[in-house]
Chains A and B, each alone.
Chain A
Amino acid sequence: MYPAPFRYFRPGSLDQALTLLSELGESSRPLAGGQTLIPILKLRMDEPTDLVDIGRLPGLGSINIEDGIIHIGSLATHARIGRHAVAGMIPVLADCANGIADAQVRNRGTIGGSVSTADPSCDWPTLLHTLDADIVCQNAHGSRSVPIREFIADAYTTALGNAELVTGIRFKCPPENSGGSYIGFKKAAPAYPAAAAGIQITLAEGDVCSDVRLVLGAAGPRPVICGEAESILRGNTITRANLEKAAEAIIAESDPPSDIRGSSGFKRTMLHSLFMQAADIAINRARGNRVQGVHEYV
């Protein structure tokens, strides 16, 4: 057995789980799908004294839309999100969910786990920045909603307090004249992406970009919001020249680290291509065309 010994608890309700985590203190960890935590335990990179299994808590896996707000429960698995009707309405959700790791991992891994881990290469945090999502967090005393750009504070660091759990993700359903795309480049399916680009773009009359959000993944300690590139597109007509200008700005704004997944220069080149490909898909979707998305760069 590779993990160090720990005590195991499986509370029956969210309230019990929150109380338990608070009582057990800082050396306890919540366990949901385990697709990040279990490999960490096996490598003994973390040796918690107690695991609180929240994986089957009732109600936390629901996905719904109410008054134009999408709510995804934190225990919703990538596989479940990818198959859900909401992902049919907002195809970028399907692109992202169905491209994470492989089928087996998607069956166990949860969106709540992905945002709580805040790995700089994780897919959901980057995509959720393009949707300006809020992360719903709860502890034994109550719940609060934190914008994702405040929630992800640094690499592997979130705004979650002790004994506080992510219970859901919320964001406004993008309008009909808005389209999204998210593409990551991975060396193999089960690997994290070496680079990723996400875009959500809204087009007004005459192909004028009325709003846009451009976010890069695996390009820094946290998702990189490309404000300069956004301002090049916002308020202007979509043209090839403007997109190229925005792509150049993205390269200037990103500072991807050289690591086992590639050199910084290689990743910048990838980010340029990923952005151009993602922008093409998102613009087509914003124009009302049904476009097959790809999570993986081809």
Chain B
Amino acid sequence: MNMSESTQLVPITVSVNGKTCQRQVEPRLLLVEFIRETLGLTGTHIGCDTSFCGACTVIVDGDAVKSCTMLAVQADGSEILTVEGLERDGVLHPLQQAFSSNHGLQCGYCTPGMLMSSLALLADNPNPTRKDIRKQLAGNICRCTGYQNIIKSIEAAASAMQED
């Protein structure tokens, strides 16, 4: 390994859930590690760590991305939304409320990714069909629920958000 003696640190500035964060990071630091370990926001989960399961899904500049497959340095200058940014003043986001009311989770491990992925869907398509929901969630794996109640939850959230 032809590395210089000292590890390179790169300054990055990101907005996370509306709060500006400036840090010096090693270039090989993954975005999910930056979120969980550097910022201490452990709501974003690491599942498979191979870009398969979607538990680490966050929103970067409006797009759902797998934060285990992005470097923190690539997010420099971006606006990031994690599951912690959904609740406002102690009130659950309609998606969180719908997952709770419709039994859209069991163990809850995949739920932060499910929520962020469905948030991106509803931003683009406020009234999705079941097919649209299934297509969007194709990159989010749940080993408990069998998905039926997750889909029901997203439909319920879509209706609730349209009524608002």
Could you tell me which A residues sit within 8 Å of B by CB distance?
Answer: 1-8, 10, 27, 31, 34-35, 38-39, 41-42, 47, 49, 51, 53, 55, 79, 101-105, 107-108, 188-191
Q: How far is B70's CA from A39's CA once the two chains are assembled, in angstroms?
A: 9
Q: How far is B68's CA from A104's CA once the two chains are assembled, in angstroms?
A: 11
The reply to whether A104 and B74 contact each other, CB–CB distance below 8 Å, is no
The reply to whether B69 and A55 contact each other, CB–CB distance below 8 Å, is no
The reply to whether B139 and A101 contact each other, CB–CB distance below 8 Å, is yes
- Chain A residues whose C-beta falls within 8 Å of the C-beta of B7 in the assembled complex: 5
Can you show 7 pairs from A to B with CB atoms below 8 A apart? A6-B3, A10-B73, A38-B69, A47-B1, A102-B54, A107-B64, A189-B138
Cβ proximity bits B57-86 to A, threshold 8 Å, 1 near / 0 not: 100000111100111011010000000000
- Chain A residues whose C-beta falls within 8 Å of the C-beta of B117 in the assembled complex: 103-104
Contact partner of B3 (CB less than 8 A), chosen from A5, A53, A79, A190, is A5
Contact partner of B138 (CB less than 8 A), chosen from A41, A53, A55, A102, is A102
Give chain B interface residues in 13-33, CB to chain A under 8 Å.
26-30, 33
The reply to whether A107 and B29 contact each other, CB–CB distance below 8 Å, is no
Take A27-B2, A39-B50 as given contacts and tell me if A104 and B64 are in contact as well, using a CB distance cutoff of 8 Å.
yes
Q: How far is B16's CA from A88's CA once the two chains are assembled, in angstroms?
A: 35
For the complex formed, measure the closest distance between the CB of B58 and the CB atoms of chain A, giving whole angstroms: 9
- Chain B residues whose C-beta falls within 8 Å of the C-beta of A190 in the assembled complex: 51-52, 138-139
Take A103-B136, A104-B64, A190-B139 as given contacts and tell me if A49 and B52 are in contact as well, using a CB distance cutoff of 8 Å.
no
- Chain A residues whose C-beta falls within 8 Å of the C-beta of B138 in the assembled complex: 102-103, 188-190
- Chain A residues whose C-beta falls within 8 Å of the C-beta of B52 in the assembled complex: 188, 190-191
The reply to whether A5 and B28 contact each other, CB–CB distance below 8 Å, is yes
For the complex formed, measure the closest distance between the CB of B47 and the CB atoms of chain A, giving whole angstroms: 12
Could you tell me which B residues sit within 8 Å of A by CB distance?
Answer: 1-4, 7-8, 10, 26-30, 33, 49-52, 54, 57, 63-66, 69-71, 73-74, 76, 117, 120-121, 135-136, 138-140
For the complex formed, measure the closest distance between the CB of B56 and the CB atoms of chain A, giving whole angstroms: 9
Main secondary structure of the interface of A (DSSP, over half): loop
- Chain B residues whose C-beta falls within 8 Å of the C-beta of A31 in the assembled complex: 71, 74
Contact partner of A1 (CB less than 8 A), chosen from B10, B28, B73, is B28
Q: How far is B139's CA from A8's CA once the two chains are assembled, in angstroms?
A: 29
- Chain B residues whose C-beta falls within 8 Å of the C-beta of A103 in the assembled complex: 64, 117, 120-121, 135-136, 138-139
- Chain B residues whose C-beta falls within 8 Å of the C-beta of A79 in the assembled complex: 63
Q: How far is B117's CA from A55's CA once the two chains are assembled, in angstroms?
A: 23
For the complex formed, measure the closest distance between the CB of A57 and the CB atoms of chain B, giving whole angstroms: 13
Q: How far is B139's CA from A101's CA once the two chains are assembled, in angstroms?
A: 8
What 20 additional pairs, Cβ within 8 angstroms, besides A7-B27, A102-B54?
A: A1-B26, A1-B29, A2-B28, A2-B49, A4-B1, A5-B26, A8-B8, A38-B70, A49-B3, A53-B74, A55-B74, A101-B139, A102-B140, A103-B135, A103-B136, A103-B139, A104-B65, A105-B51, A188-B138, A190-B51
